[in-house]
Amino acid sequence: MDKAEGAEPQCGSPRGETGVEGGPIRAAVTQALDDYFRELAGHDCHGLYHLVLREVEAPLLQAVMLRTNGNQTKAAQLLGLNRATLRKKLREHGLAS
């Protein structure tokens, strides 16, 4: 389905490009990880994947809920999640109202 048939545009860069490598979110995450590794100063790190997901998911959920004025159906659509999954994640992060 194309735009003429009513398909919603996919998320990508702020200009609407999809599959763009090196967008602003990726750049921010890359910078944050570079800073994190520098601060480790050679110390071991375990569980980085889950740490990053926990750190990114909560502000993502907050921003989307703000953008959708708390409308969970719209937020779930924007995120590409099932509404029940969104509700679960909001509870996990203490963001459920």
Angle between the 72-79 and 83-92 helix axes, to the nearest 10 degrees?
100
Domain range list for the chain: 16-92
Q: Under CATH, to which class is 16-92 assigned?
A: mainly alpha
Summarised one tens digit per residue, pLDDT across range 47-90 is 999 999 999 999 999 999 999 999 999 999 999 999 999 999 99
CB 78 within 8 A of CB 68: yes
Report pTM. Answer: 0.72
CB 31 within 8 A of CB 23: no
Summarised one tens digit per residue, pLDDT across range 23-48 is 898 999 999 999 999 999 888 889 99
